[in-house]
Amino acid sequence: MNAPFKPIEGPSRRDVVVASALVGGSLLVGCSPADIMSAGSKVEVGAFGPFIKIAPDGVVTVISKHVEFGQGNHAGLAAIVAEELDADWTKVQVEQAPANAKLYANGALGAQLTGGSSAISNSWEQLRKAGAGARAMFVQAAANKWNVPVGEITVKDSVGTHTSGKTATFGDLLADAAKVPAPTDVKLKDPKTFTLIGTDRVRRKDAQVKSDGTARYTQDVRLPDMLTAVVAHAPRFGAKVKSFDAAEAKKVAGVVDVFEIPTGIAVVAQTTFAARMGREALKLEWDEEKAEKRGSAAIAQLFNDVAAGKNTDTKWEPFDQRGDATALNSAKGANVFETTYEFPYLAHATMEPMNCVASVDGNKVKMVFGSQGQTLDQLAAAKIVGCLPGSVEIETIFAGGSFGRRANFQSDYVAECVHIAKKVGKGRPVKLVWTREDDMQAGYFRPLTVHAVKVQLDKDGYPAAWRHRIVSQSIMKGSPMPAGKGPDQTAIEGTAGSPYLKATPVVDAQVALPDVGVPVLWWRSVGATHTAFVMEHTIDQLAAKAGKDPVEYRRALYTKAGADRHLAALNLAVEKAGPKAADGWTRGVAVHESFGSVVAQVAEVKVENGAPRVGRVVTAIDCGVAVSPDQIAAQMEGGTCYGLSGFMFGEVTLTDGKVDQTNFDRYRVLRINEAPTVETNIVPSGNPPSGVGEPGTPVIGPAVANALLVLNKTPTKRLPFVRSEN
Amino acid sequence: MAVTLDINGKPTSVQASPDTPLLWVLRDELGMTGTKFGCGMAQCGACTVHLDGQAIRSCVTPIEAVGAAKITTIEGLGGQHPVQQAWVRHDVPQCGYCQSGQIMSACALLAQKAKPSDEDIDNAMAGNICRCGAYQRIRAAIKDAADTGPPLGEPHADIDEAIVAGSGATHRGAGR
């Protein structure tokens, strides 16, 4: 999830979180944002700091401030510490940090929050220093013990060795090392001397528990005396409860209580099955006066009208304007290209539907769940029960996927669970369970989005003037962010900053964000889910118009724009793909930068039964220093599948404001028989690490569309490729 | 009402109404949470268990339909089953939530077909969704497990039989 917020262009995530804190009513005058957000927290920090614990048997526990929901970040974070600590990798384990915004804030976002593909990048310096600091403490302890200079001691695999041959393990030295004052200035390794980072030894630490059924997810939490709750939600966004009759629901065996909460009617029961049966027996009426009643077709029509300038109610916000583009408005002819693209709402559809476990005793709140934005979730809970945000305890556990869904400013399902637990009271734990249907119909979709593009080519066939209009819904609106700092980056990133626009002398790019009552949210790779498609598919159409090879066309534009990393990634992918596709397959190429990383893909595509089939996908990524090459490959494989699933089948539609899809029968997702084979190549780099979780997602769509353009001579103007009958 | 189910080789008595899906009996009544809830309508495969060696979706299987059939869950594989070892070798899991179901489907496939083709894998595994998109590694791990299994042509013994016969605790998969 999450756009990389650029301080000069938009509000920083820190602004947003501080604003949330203010809304929470817990403002402590004179405190830093981290002080406000961690107020009331009681987290103990050990001798080696907030990120490292070492046991007498020498086992090193790396404390991860980031949730693990598939990204493999726990492996990378642990490897960063282990590298500088010179720890025995086989004796390193990972533990999830408690919620504390002061100790465990994401340095890129200003809150304890996992997102924006930033787990490794924001932790890079922090964890290297933590590892190096702890190492220095062990070396000092050994030097003291042996009465030798620290310079004569080396460390390898958790063992300190003196030049004389004397050795001592971390376990041997632990008691003494813990008493050494933590160094304030540590020397980090020269990356050229890394022995763990960048090797295939950096593997997941959780593969075993995730293969034997013992990994613990929110759905699996079982606490003494725990109740399970489900909620009857309104069928349309913005509707409220008008009246309800719980008599029949309460007769269901196992149902304990039925009551109203702000988002609907909660049914609390002894078991999940009983809660669901109770909900089915509810009689409910909704007040839909303020509900969103438009269907997705009407919303799409509105967005298309806005993009075409037929609707003048919507405010346009420019985000890239250079030169005089007025001549382009009326330009016609063989050198003018004009088109539109339409993208549907998308559900995240994580394997584990949203859920949460909370207990409330007076103003004490404890939660156990796969929290993605602990600071946001603490604030949401604090607002409901009236306590200091930092006093809200969160035990973060594995989450069964997120793709952006679990972090939002409303903490929607978290707040719902806290409301229920507050009503139940007495510290009795309540597990809120959303069924697949609840999850899919709850909104927070990738926004429906329309792009309108008009480009005039110069005499050499390259863009001379580029007009770009994006119509989408603002993700950031409705968040407590300060207004007036420029357009919502989440709607434009990827078009904004595109090397193709940089290479164009005259640009007029604007965005309009009409209000719609459907809640929207970041969906893995956020703005790039549509901007990458538009820019990359447009480029192939421009190249075709200019009679040029699309790869050569890109190379020329990257050279013009000074986009060296794009060029290098493209060249590597093309080189590794080899001279030609296998017989029967057609290639499409696409390149996109997101979250600081550039991904290039060469996809081999054919059409089977009228639908695209994607085979080999050769990928190149420049993500700075590759901490865990195997997990980078895993994210390229998974990101490509996640993206392809959306581009191929993903579409949430609404009829008169009601979501049509309820489950995987009508919300089709990619299955193993439709999955491509992704080859990953990493561009060598000495830059600090950049994003990996999201950048692999958006590129496959335009790569496939570009192959289809060759195959069918038809551009793709509306997604998904395969539309179901709704 | 009390029902006795044969779960991982052990007769297990549960109190539940006969229309309760096996999934919720396993998870809520017995605390066997390795089997996951994903969709509730046999669309995603996260709840896959074996019934007499066949992969079935426990979310749509009421306990009254189980009868005396032998139920095997992810817990019944013991943790070091060759398929599980292959999963770990390939770092298959990402979020991991679907993997119990994937592994149960893969075990059922390998029990019937020692050396499955890509098409066999597609057919047997297409009912198991992985939203993280670990499909490529799932395929590789199944082939790896097949290669580390018995010689070509010799079918894998039914793992459920082995669980019944063995002590259960450190079961490593029959015929391997």
Which residues 131-170 of A have a C-beta within 8 angstroms of B?
A: none
CB A268 within 8 A of CB A260: no
Shortest distance, CA B94 to any CA of chain A (angstroms): 4
Query: Confidence class of residue B15 from pLDDT cuts 50, 70 and 90?
Result: very high
For the CA atoms of A631, A633, A635, A637, the dihedral, rounded to the nearest 10 degrees, stands at -140
Taking the CA of residue A212 and the nearest CA in chain B, the distance in Å comes to 5
* Pairwise CA distance, residues A378 & A365, whole Å: 9
Cα→Cα distances A705→A224, A251, A500, A603, B145, Å: 53, 55, 18, 10, 36
Q: Which of A305, A702, A680, A675 is nearest to A528 (CA)?
A: A702
Residue of A nearest to B46 (CA): A351
Over residues A459-511, the pLDDT tens digits come to 999 999 999 999 999 999 877 654 556 899 999 999 999 999 999 999 999 99
Does residue B169 carry a pLDDT above 60?
no
Distance from CA of A6 to the nearest CA of B (A): 28
Tell which phi-psi region holds residue B175, choosing left (phi > 0), alpha (psi between -120 and 50) or beta. left
- Asked if A283 contacts A248 with a C-beta cutoff of 8 angstroms, the reply is yes
CA atoms A607, A612, A615, A616: torsion sign? positive
Can you read off the two tokens belonging to residue B89?
A: 């070798």
Residues of B in contact with A211 (CB under 8 A): 79, 84, 87-88, 92-93, 96, 99, 103
- Taking only residues 144 to 173 of chain B, the set having a beta carbon closer than 8 angstroms to any beta carbon of chain A reads none
Alpha-carbon distances of A702 from A162, A341, A643, rounded to whole Å: 57, 12, 10
Angle of helix A550-561 versus helix A564-577 axis, rounded to 10: 160
Tokens 């303020």 sit at which residue?
Answer: A290
Q: How far A349 CA sits from the closest chain B CA (Å)?
A: 8
* Closest residue, chain B, to A676 (C-alpha): B136
Sign of the CA dihedral running A70, A75, A81, A83: negative
Q: Tell me the CA distances in angstroms from A686 to A74, A80, A117, A494, one per residue in order.
A: 22, 15, 19, 24
Residues of chain A with pLDDT below 70 are 1-34, 480-485, 725-726
CB A697 within 8 A of CB A642: yes
Selection from A649, A666, A642 nearest residue A611 by Cα: A649
CB spacing of B133 vs A638 below 8 angstroms? yes
Encode burial over A412-438: b for 16+ CB neighbours within 10 A, e otherwise. Answer: bbbbbbbbbbbbbeeebbbbbbbbbbb
Rounded CA-CA distance B41/B59 in Å is 7
Q: Give the span between the Cα atoms of A33 and A18, in whole angstroms.
A: 6
Q: Cβ of A351 and B35 within 8 Å?
A: no
Size of interface A-B (CB pairs under 8 A): 185
Say yes or no for a CB contact (<8 Å) between B79 and A637.
no
Cα of A269 to nearest chain B Cα, Å: 12
Minimal Cβ distance to A351: which of B75, B91, B129: B129
Taking the alpha carbons at both ends of chain B, their separation in whole angstroms is 40
Chain A residue numbers with beta carbons less than 8 Å from the beta carbon of B73 are: 213
Q: Which of A211, A640, A645 sits opposite B84 (nearest CB)?
A: A211
Q: How far apart are the CA of B105 and the nearest CA of chain A, in angstroms?
A: 13
Which residues 396-455 in chain A show a CB within 8 A of chain B? 398-403, 433, 435-437
**Measured between CB atoms, does B39 come within 8 Å of chain A?**
yes
CB contact under 8 A, A400 and B34: no
Using a 10 angstrom Cβ sphere, with 0-12 exposed, 13-18 middle and 19 or more buried, the burial of residue A51 is buried
ipTM computed for the complex: 0.94
B151 — pLDDT class (breaks 50, 70, 90): very low
* Nearest residue, CB atoms, B91 vs list A207, A349, A665: A207
**Cβ atoms < 10 Å from Cβ of A364:** 13
Q: Does A617 touch chain B (CB under 8 A)?
A: no
- A30's CB contacts (< 8 A; 6+ apart) are none
Tell me which residue in A203, A219, A663 faces B41 most closely, judged by beta carbons.
A663
Write the DSSP symbol of residue A238: T
Number of helical (H) and strand (E) elements in chain A, helices listed first? 20, 26
User: What is the structure's pLDDT at A16?
Assistant: 42
Q: Tokens at residue A531, please?
A: 């901007």
Please indicate whether, in this complex, the C-beta atoms of B129 and A208 are within 8 angstroms of each other: no
**A254 in Cβ contact with A271 (< 8 Å):** yes
Closest residue in B to A274 (Cα–Cα): B20
Determine the Cα–Cα distance for residues A269 and A255; give it in Å rounded to an integer. Answer: 4
Residues from chain B contacting residue A219 (CB–CB below 8 Å): 27, 33, 36-37
Q: Residue B36 and residue A219: Cβ atoms within 8 Å?
A: yes
The Cα–Cα gap between A259 and A261 comes to 7
**pLDDT tens digits, residue range A27-44?**
333 445 667 777 788 888
> What is the C-alpha to C-alpha distance for residues A496 and A321, in angstroms, rounded to an integer?
11
Tell me the three-class secondary structure of A274-330, residue by residue: HHHHHHHCCEEEEECCCCCCCCHHHHHHHHHHHHCCCCCCCCEEEEEEECCCHHHHC
3-class secondary-structure state, position A233: strand
In which order are the strands placed within the sheet that holds A159-162?
Answer: A153-156, A159-162, A167-169
Cβ proximity of B106 and B161 under 8 Å: no
Inter-chain touch B87–A204, beta carbons under 8 Å = no
Q: What is the 3-state secondary structure (H, E, C) of A559-605?
A: HHHCCHHHHHHHHHHHHHHCCCCCCCCEEEEEEEEECCEEEEEEEEE
3-state secondary structure chain B: CEEEEEECCEEEEEECCCCCEHHHHHHHHCCCCCCCCCCCCCCCCCCEEEECCEEEEHHHCEHHHCCCCEEECHHHHCCCCHHHHHHHHCCCCCCCCCHHHHHHHHHHHHHHCCCCCHHHHHHHHCCCCCCCCCHHHHHHHHHHHHHCCCCCCCCCCCHHHHHHHCCCCCCCCCCC
Residues facing residue A52 across a β-bridge: A62
| CA end-to-end span of chain A | 28
Position A305, amino acid: D
pTM, rounded to two decimals: 0.94
Q: 3-state class of A385 per DSSP?
A: helix
Residues of B in contact with A672 (CB under 8 A): 121-122, 125-126, 128, 130, 135, 138-139
| Alpha helix ranges (H) inside A470-563 | 489-492, 499-502, 528-546, 550-561
Tokens for A499, please give them: 């090397």
Looking only at the bridges linking them, the beta strands covering A393-396 and A364-369 are parallel
The Cα A71–Cα A525 span in angstroms is 13
Best interface-test mutation with A: which of B15, B28, B37 has the largest number of A CBs within 10 A? B37
pLDDT of residue A37: 75
What is residue A485's predicted lDDT score, i.e. its pLDDT? 66
Q: Taking CB atoms and an 8 Å limit, are B88 and A642 in contact across chains?
A: no
List all residues of chain B from 4 to 33 with a beta carbon under 8 Å from chain A. Answer: 17, 20-21, 24, 27-29, 31, 33
Nearest to A74 by CA among A131, A122, A120: A120
Q: From CA A323, how far away is CA A304, in angstroms rounded?
A: 26
Asked if residue A429 has a cis previous peptide bond (ω within 30° of 0), the answer is no
Among A residues 323-382, those touching chain B with beta carbons less than 8 Å apart: 349-353
Q: Which residue's structure tokens are 């429906």?
A: A448
Distances (CA, A) of A558 to A125, A701, B176: 31, 21, 55
Among B72, B105, B129, B135, most A C-beta atoms within 10 A, so best to mutate, is: B135
